[in-house]
Structure 1
Amino acid sequence: MKTELKTVDAYISTFPMEVQEKLSAIRKIITENAPEAIETISYGMPAYKTHKKPLVYFAGYAKHIGFYATPTGHEVFAKELSVYKQGKGSVQFPINAPLPIDLITRIVKFRVKENESFSK
């Protein structure tokens, strides 16, 4: 993990262009669908919070993009995510395949609404 990096721009810039494009696409989905989210680096990766609660994280690796929508984002979309390799609270989108933009968008929107409900 790139724990010494302080900004998402710096984090993304450390990857090859193909990976940068995918990381930037995920970032754009998040910022467009959660415009009030606070963007930071946490656990050495881009992290987003709304209402003081984690929203989603993402990270670049040699062969995949890790996406973390814990705790419930993966449970609710389990069927659609089942085609991807997964770990506890994570899903891996292969570098050599198109990103599931619509799915990521729906997960982010779900997490935004969920965090909003916790703040009431």
Structure 2
Amino acid sequence: MANISSVDEFLSGFDGPARARLQELRDLSRRAAPKAAEDVRWNQPAYLHASGTILFMFSGHRAHANMAFTPSTLEEFRPEMGTRKVGKGTVQVPYAEPLPTELLTRMIQHRIAEHERDGIGWM
């Protein structure tokens, strides 16, 4: 995979429902973390605190997107995940399901707060 230099370039690699969902995640990220800088890390969109610390990322896959947070953020919201598939710090967001906007917004806000309040860095 060639190195991706921008989120626009990342998005251009997807079409249909995947592209639409990834654009939704970008829009949500910008609304929920307006002070975060948008960048690309490991060929994925990443949102950075002014300190340079990664706050969260997202990625696209065949049937779902992943939102990546710190394990501590995911643990805080695990009781609300229901049947969603989760990993160490990721939550799957299937393209065929409605975007859990409110939940993801709260997770982003929690992640910003845990970094600013507790100094929790990236994985």
TM-score (norm 1): 0.89
Give CA deviations for 1:61-88 in whole Å, capped at 9, x if unaligned.
Answer: 0111011011322011001124211222
CA-based RMSD: 1.5
- The match for 1:57 is 57
Give a deviation string over 1:2-37, Cα, whole Å, max 9, x none: 551100011011111321111111111111121111
Structure 1 runs (4+) greater than 3 angstroms displaced:
none
Equivalent in the alignment of 1:112: 112
- Measured after TM superposition, the shift of residue 118 of structure 1 is 4.2
**Matched residue type, 2:25:** I
Going by fraction, where is strand more abundant, 1 or 2?
1
In the alignment, the residues of structure 1 paired with residue 100 and residue 62 of structure 2 have an alpha-carbon distance, to the nearest angstrom, of 18
Tell me if 1:33 matches 2:32.
yes
Residue identity (%): 32
The answer on whether the counterparts of 1:74 and 1:81 sit within 8 Å (CA) in structure 2 is no
TM normalised by structure 2 equals: 0.87
Q: State the SS of the aligned residue for 2:86.
A: strand
